[in-house]
Structure 1
Amino acid sequence: MGFSSILVETDSEAVVKAIFQEQTYPQLVETLIVDCKFLIRQVPNSKLLHTFREGNQCADFLANLGQSSPWSTTILNTPLEGMTTLLVRDANKVAFNRLR
C-alpha cells in the first residue's frame, strides 16, 4: 500500500518475542511468524511494540475478534464497524480501565 512507516502494537508479549527471537515453532505457527516478519520488512520505518490492552483499545478489539474467527490471515483496508470510535479514542489517548 506504499506506507513509509507503521507502528504495530499488540497486547501479546509472546507475539513480540516470537517475531524478534529466532526459535523453532510448530509449522502452522511458524508460517504466520514468517509472514509477519516479511510484512514488517516491507515498510522501511516499522516498529512492533507490546502495549497493555488499556493502551490500545483497537488491538484489544482485534484480538477479541480473532478469538472467534477462523484461522486465516485477514487484511483490513478500512476499520471494522465499531473500530472507528476506538481509533479516535486511541489517537486522543483516552484512558481505559481494565475490567476483571
Structure 2
Amino acid sequence: MQASEFFLCINRPKCNHRWITKYIRWEKPASGWLKLNTDGSFDDLLGNAGGVGLIRDEQGNWVAGFTRKLGKANSFIAEAWALRDGLMLCKQLNLSNVIAELDAKALVDALNKPSFDNSVISPLSDDCKQLASQIPRIVFRHIYREANSCADHLANVGRPQSLDLVAYNSPPVDLAPHIMADCQGLCAKKLCLDSLLLV
C-alpha cells in the first residue's frame, strides 16, 4: 500500500506555476491621510530584536518616527511591538486618518480577524486593537518588504541602540536617500507567483 501511495504521488501532474515580475514601490497616502510604516528586525547570531516605525504625510514628508530596542525576542513579536509603538505614536499625535502598513502578513491577518487568538502575542495584539479603536479611521495593509524599505533600513538602527526607545522628529541622516526614493516613486523588481493561478 505504501508503494502504491508513493507511485500515485510521484505520478500526479505538477501544478503549472507562472512567475511574473512585479514593480513594487511605496505609495503616498491619499489627501487627508497619513501613513504609518512599521517593521521588526531580528539578529539570528545575537538573538537581539528591535522595532521601528515612521509616519509620513500625503507628500511623503516625515512627520515622526521611533526606534525601539527589544532585546531577546523573535521576529514576530518584534513586528507586533513595532506596530503597537506606532499606533501609540499615532494616538499621541491625535491622528484621525491612518493607513498602517507592514510586511508581516500573519500580523495583518491577525488584526483583521476578530476571532484570532494566540497566547504568545495576545497581549500585544490586544493592545494594538485597543489603540486602533481610538483612531477614528484606520486601515491595516500588508505590503511587500520592497515597499517598506524605509522601515526596513531604520530597523537596523533600533536593534543595537543603547536606549530602549528613541523618538525622531526628523529622519536620521542615513535614511534620507530612502525617503527621497519613496517620494520619487522609485520601483524595485520582485519575482512573484501569478495571483490569477492561486485562486
TM-score (norm 1): 0.69
> CA-to-partner distance for each residue in 1:23-74, whole Å, 9 max, x for gaps?
22125x10110111112122111111000011121232355567x46xxx95
Aligned to 1:26, which of 119, 123, 126?
119
Q: Rate the CA distance shift 1:14–1:58 in 2: closer, same or farther, 3 A.
A: same
SS at structure 2 position matched to 1:48: strand
Asked if the contact 1:11–1:52 (Cα under 8 Å) also holds between the matched residues in 2, the reply is: yes
- State which drifts further: 74-83 or 37-46: 74-83
Q: Structure 1 CA distance, aligned partners of 2:175 and 2:130?
A: 26
> CA-to-partner distance for each residue in 1:69-95, whole Å, 9 max, x for gaps?
6xxx95845355244443332233222
1:46 equivalent to 2:149? Answer: no
What RMSD, in angstroms, separates the aligned Cα atoms of the two structures? 2.8
Give the match for residue 178 of structure 2: 86
Asked if the contact 1:24–1:30 (Cα under 8 Å) also holds between the matched residues in 2, the reply is: yes
Q: Structure 2 CA distance, aligned partners of 1:38 and 1:62?
A: 26
Q: Structure 2 CA distance, aligned partners of 1:77 and 1:39?
A: 21
- Greater strand proportion: 2
Asked if the contact 1:53–1:59 (Cα under 8 Å) also holds between the matched residues in 2, the reply is: no
Give the match for residue 103 of structure 2: 11
Asked if the contact 2:112–2:140 (Cα under 8 Å) also holds between the matched residues in 1, the reply is: no
Asked if the contact 1:11–1:59 (Cα under 8 Å) also holds between the matched residues in 2, the reply is: no
Q: Rate the CA distance shift 1:63–1:15 in 2: closer, same or farther, 3 A.
A: farther
Q: Structure 1 CA distance, aligned partners of 2:170 and 2:188?
A: 20
Gaps of 5+ in 2: 1-92, 191-199
Q: Report how many residues are paired.
A: 94
Q: Rate the CA distance shift 1:93–1:17 in 2: closer, same or farther, 3 A.
A: same
Q: Rate the CA distance shift 1:97–1:53 in 2: closer, same or farther, 3 A.
A: same
* Sequence identity percentage: 27
